[in-house]
Amino acid sequence: MAMQVLTNLFIALLWAALQEDWSVLTFFSGYLVGILVLFLMRRFLPDNFYLITFVNIIKLFFVFIQELFTSSILVIRQVIRPKLNITPGIFIVETDLETDTEVTLLSLLLTLTPGSVVIKVSDDGQTLYVHAMDIPESSESVLKSKLRFENYIKKVTRKC
């Protein structure tokens, strides 16, 4: 992805140099030409087209925000009850993510959502040990979040 961005910037600079006009508008039009060139050459590139990857990153961010609010509501409901009736515990979450980057990103996203903390990742990276604030309620929420996160992490990190 970084190579595509640098190539696009190079095309934009080359465009501005060939136009002999170093204005922002000329650079921007060259950048658009670079996007078009890279889009047309996308099947020859080893990675996904970088704008598609960028859009998938934005989608992953919005999924995280949605899960953050959902988990926050669950935690707030538990905390404002007159009598604290929770059963904290540790449960196992299996994942089918392959690389260390994908597993790390999933672990961080699950840890950042309130009510759950990834305390250990197995050596093979396929099992996460998660501590949840309230096992029956939080574990279901974590498993739903895991499925959504995995789907978008795969879109971001893998070639479609």
pLDDT tens digits along 75-120: 888 888 888 888 889 999 999 998 999 999 999 999 998 888 999 9
CB 38 within 8 Å of CB 4: yes
Q: What is the mean pLDDT of residues 13-18?
A: 91
pLDDT digits (tens, 9 = 90+) for 53-84: 899 999 999 999 999 998 899 888 888 888 88
Question: In this model, does residue 159 exceed pLDDT 80?
Answer: no
Residue listed under structure tokens 């465009």: 15
Surface-to-core class of residue 42, CB atoms within 10 Å of its CB (0-12 exposed, 13-18 middle, 19+ buried): middle
Q: CB within 8 A of 148, min separation 6: which ones?
A: 63, 67
Closest by CA position to 138, among listed 160, 119, 110, 159 = 110
Structure-model confidence comparison of residues 60 and 139, the more confident one: 60
Q: Which three-class secondary structure state does DSSP give residue 132? A: strand
Question: In this model, does residue 25 exceed pLDDT 70?
Answer: yes
What percentage of the chain carries pLDDT values higher than 70?
99
- 43 DSSP assignment: G
Report the chain's mean pLDDT, rounded to a whole number: 89
Diameter over CA atoms, the chain = 73
Q: Quote the CA–CA distance of 153 and 128 in Å, as a whole number.
A: 16
Question: In this model, does residue 160 exceed pLDDT 70?
Answer: no
